[in-house]
Amino acid sequence: MEQQSTESVAPTATNPNMKNYEEERKTFSWEEIEKNFTWYETGKVNMAYEAIDRHAESSRANKIALHYCDDTREESYTFEQMKLNSNKFGNVLRDLGIVKGDRVFIFMPRTPELYFAFLGAVKVGAIVGPLFEAFMEMAVRDRLQDSGAIAVVTTPALLSRVPVADLPELKHVIVVGQEVEAGEGIVDYYKQMATASEELAIEWVDREDGLILHYTSGSTGKPKGICHVHNAMIQHYYTGKIVLDLQEDDVYWCNADPGWVTGTSYGIFAPWLNGATNVIRGGRFSPKDWYGTIEKYKISIWYSSPTALRMLMGVGDELVKQFDLSSLRHVLSVGEPLNPEVVRWGLKVYGQRIHDTWWMTETGGHLVCNYPAMAIRPGSMGKPIPGTDAAIVDDNGNVLPPYRMGNLAIKTPWPSMMRKVWNNPAKYEEYFRIPGWYISGDSAYCDEDGYFWFQGRIDDVINTAGERVGPFEVESKLVEHPAVAEAGVIGKPDPIRGEIIKAFIGLRDGYTPSDELKADIAKFVKEGLSAHAAPREIEFRDKLPKTRSGKIMRRVLKAWELGLPTGDLSTIED
Ligand code: PRX
């Protein structure tokens, strides 16, 4: 493997929290980080206490914790107000009988209420399952069923997608809306909040007790419930300092929805554990509104994603000049490979280095990153955070020399590592099949200076606009369509979204290929599963390549698509 680039962008600022990466690695200890938490003294742990109440009880009580805006609302809340609102919601849950370990889901768009509910649920010891508002009924059912959720917080618009009849364990549906129709198990959020007490006895939990469940896709089977514990706060706090570079006067904005791990680890935990002012913008992507948000709140740290940055780059440099973005001092990206071209563009138009960060739902927090104090090599994900080790290993666990491509692996353990896959210990074990290592499923190589370079997924998981989509889930939905006999789904390279979902479909007898049928099939997935899982491209084929056991060979579909040799076809059916 040749080194991709020798281009390097020197640091322009120093981070007081980590002045020198190599020095920090030498002297680092997680135990020193733990000393920053109240529980190091008291032994009492709760993530929401450390993120909110601790500041509300300090000189930060009247500091703005949350600036919220969307097209219709604009509100700000201090740490004290966040504490009281989340206390109230904690009481609402407690009155319903919710206790430590119960799974409480949050299925709603970003609004302040989402954050009150999230923190309130954590305060009573519940394990929170945040869901994207884009999920349709089947996606919601799979996740609530698998986790045995007892309560869900949602909105009137999304209520019809919560299939209560199929969810015997679901007892409470808490609806956040002005007009809530009464019904069995329906709880009116505003009505309950109006009378709920602002005093709450926080549920002190163990560091290893469950905190959050993020469902994420693999290449086979239904989405997996990745479970994280309160202990993860150690890593969220620390990476908030050395990667996000949070300092006292920063105004921080993370674009991600809490339905995605970035929207919780770095949209809730890291900024608030560090007592930062956090901006949340609801609504959809809009270049003007986004730049307007940076200008309005004087955002200094911005955590975004390659797809969003590529879209902004597509809109062009002129729009940037219409806004005052001089408050920006640190920009980061996550979720997909960050093209060197985007890094160069960021330098030119924002005057900022864009710091790529690599991690996964399963890792809970940052692992391989670029830091303010370190030179950036555009196209590289950076180097492992202090306190962790990454390596490229072969399938037997041998560490490979520089420039050799292999499995991107992380030495176990680290504080925010997932602790289980819900109901699926076998899946959990798969990640740790090589003793001493977590196997990420990504392939990469490391250069001679220790920078890591992403090469691709080893399995069939699709990454479209930063969303992880399992082909199996989409294929399963496709074959429910009356016209579809069989379907194989792949990620097709796309200049903006990284990959788009392409479906190869064999039709049932009596159906003829047409554009209308394609549109109808795409709509079927969009409405049955979710918008981001719907294929953007469909191709009808008389026959799909299958193994003798009947498994569709996505590898061959991908080779067709890319015009590459199809490789070993010895297991193909005919
Ligand atoms: O393939 C890698 C890609 O996204 C996967 C993890 O997806 P998810 O669990 O949804 O979490 C994303 C946010 C933490 C990884 O296995 N990925 C993530 N970050 C990067 C990346 N690929 C290349 N460069 C990155 N910086």
Instruction: Classify 556 as helix, strand or coil.
Output: helix
Q: What radius of gyration, in Å, describes the C-alpha atoms of the chain?
A: 24
Supply φ then ψ for residue 103, to 5 degrees: -90, 120
Q: How is residue 572 written in tokens? A: 């193909």
Written as six digits, the tokens of 202 are 């926080």
Backbone angles phi, psi at 342, to 5 degrees: -70, -35
Q: Which of 468, 469, 497, 499 to mutate to test the pocket of ligand 1 (most atoms within 8 A of CB)?
A: 468
Report CA(492)–ligand 1 centroid distance (Å): 17
- Ligand 1 mean position to 357 CA, how many Å? 9
Q: Which residues line ligand 1 (CB under 6 A)?
A: 216, 261-262, 334-337, 356-361, 381, 440-442, 454, 457, 463, 468
Q: How far is the CA of 335 from the centre of ligand 1 (A)?
A: 4
CA distance linking residue 332 with residue 303, whole number of Å: 5
- pLDDT per residue, tens digit, the chain (574 aa), is 444 557 899 997 778 999 999 999 999 999 999 999 999 999 999 999 999 999 999 999 999 999 999 999 999 999 999 999 999 999 999 999 999 999 999 999 999 999 999 999 999 999 999 999 999 999 999 999 999 999 999 999 999 999 999 999 999 999 999 999 999 999 999 999 999 999 999 999 999 999 999 999 887 778 999 999 999 999 999 999 999 999 999 999 999 999 999 999 999 999 999 999 999 999 999 999 999 999 999 999 999 999 999 999 999 999 999 999 999 999 999 999 999 999 999 999 999 999 999 999 999 999 999 999 999 999 999 999 999 999 999 999 999 999 999 999 999 999 999 999 999 999 999 999 999 999 999 999 999 999 999 999 998 899 999 999 989 889 989 999 999 999 999 999 999 999 999 999 999 999 999 999 999 999 999 999 999 999 999 999 999 998 777 788 898 999 999 998 877 666 566 5
Instruction: Return the domain boundaries, the chain.
Output: 30-445, 461-573
Secondary structure (3-state) at 160? helix
- Residue whose pair of structure tokens reads 């104090």 in the numeric block: 373
Question: Which pair of tokens denotes residue 537?
Answer: 């491209």
Unique residue bearing structure tokens 């790529």: 356
Mutate to test the pocket of ligand 1, among 354, 442, 457 (most ligand atoms within 8 A of CB): 442
What's the gap in Å between 463 CA and the centre of ligand 1?
Answer: 8
| Contact (Cβ atoms closer than 8 angstroms) between residue 74 and residue 80 | no
Count Cα neighbours of 182 within 13 Å in the Cβ-side half-sphere. Answer: 1
Give the per-residue pLDDT at 2: 46
CATH 3.30.300.30 is right for the domain spanning 461-573: yes
pLDDT for the residue 546:
85
Question: In whole angstroms, what is the distance from residue 374 CA to residue 19 CA?
Answer: 9
Q: How far is CA 461 from CA 203, 281, 384, 471, in A?
A: 38, 29, 23, 7
What CA–CA distance (Å, rounded) separates 120 from 142?
24
Distance from Cα 485 to the centre of ligand 1, integer Å: 32
- The CATH homologous superfamily of the domain defined by 30-445: ANL, N-terminal domain (3.40.50.12780)
Report the C-alpha gap between 190 and 178 in whole angstroms.
Answer: 7
454 Cα–ligand 1 center, Å: 10
Torsional sign, CA 241, 244, 248, 252: negative
Measured in angstroms, how far is the CA atom of residue 29 from the centroid of ligand 1? 26
| Atom number of ligand 1 nearest to Cα 260 | 10
Give strand pairing partners of 279. 67, 253
Which tokens sit at 476?
């399963």
**What ligand 1 atom has the least distance to the C-alpha of 214?**
9
pTM, rounded to two decimals: 0.94
- DSSP code of 543? -
Which of 228, 342, 366, 454 has most ligand 1 atoms within 8 Å of CB, for mutation?
454
Cα 62 to ligand 1 centroid, rounded to whole Å: 36
Using alpha carbons, select from 535, 561, 405 the residue that is nearest to residue 478.
Answer: 535
Q: Is the peptide bond before 413 cis (omega within 30 degrees of 0)?
A: yes
SS3 call for 445: strand
Which residue of 265, 359, 467 sits with most ligand 1 atoms within 8 Å of its CB, as the best mutation to test the pocket? 359
How many angstroms does the Cα of residue 360 sit away from the middle of ligand 1? 5
Beta bridge partners of 537: 502
CB distance 483 to 508 below 8 Å: yes
Q: How many CB atoms lie within 10 A of CB 276?
A: 25
What interhelical angle do 112-123 and 79-95 show, nearest 10?
60
Distance CA 106, CA 392 (A): 37
Residue whose CA is at the smallest distance from ligand 1 atom 7:
360
Looking at residue 218, what is its pLDDT? 81
Q: What pLDDT is recorded for position 549? A: 73
Instruction: Give the separation between CA 364 and CA 133, rounded to whole angstroms.
Output: 21
CA nearest neighbour of 120 among 104, 107, 144: 104
**Residue type, position 238, single letter:** Y
CA-nearest residue for atom 10, ligand 1, is 468
Confidence (pLDDT) at 566:
77
Nearest CA to ligand 1 atom 6: 360
Which residue's CA is the nearest one to ligand 1's atom 21?
336
Whose C-alpha lies nearest to ligand 1, atom 15?
Answer: 360
Ligand 1 atom 18, closest CA: 335
By most ligand atoms within 8 Å of CB, the mutation choice from 235, 305, 336 for ligand 1 is: 336
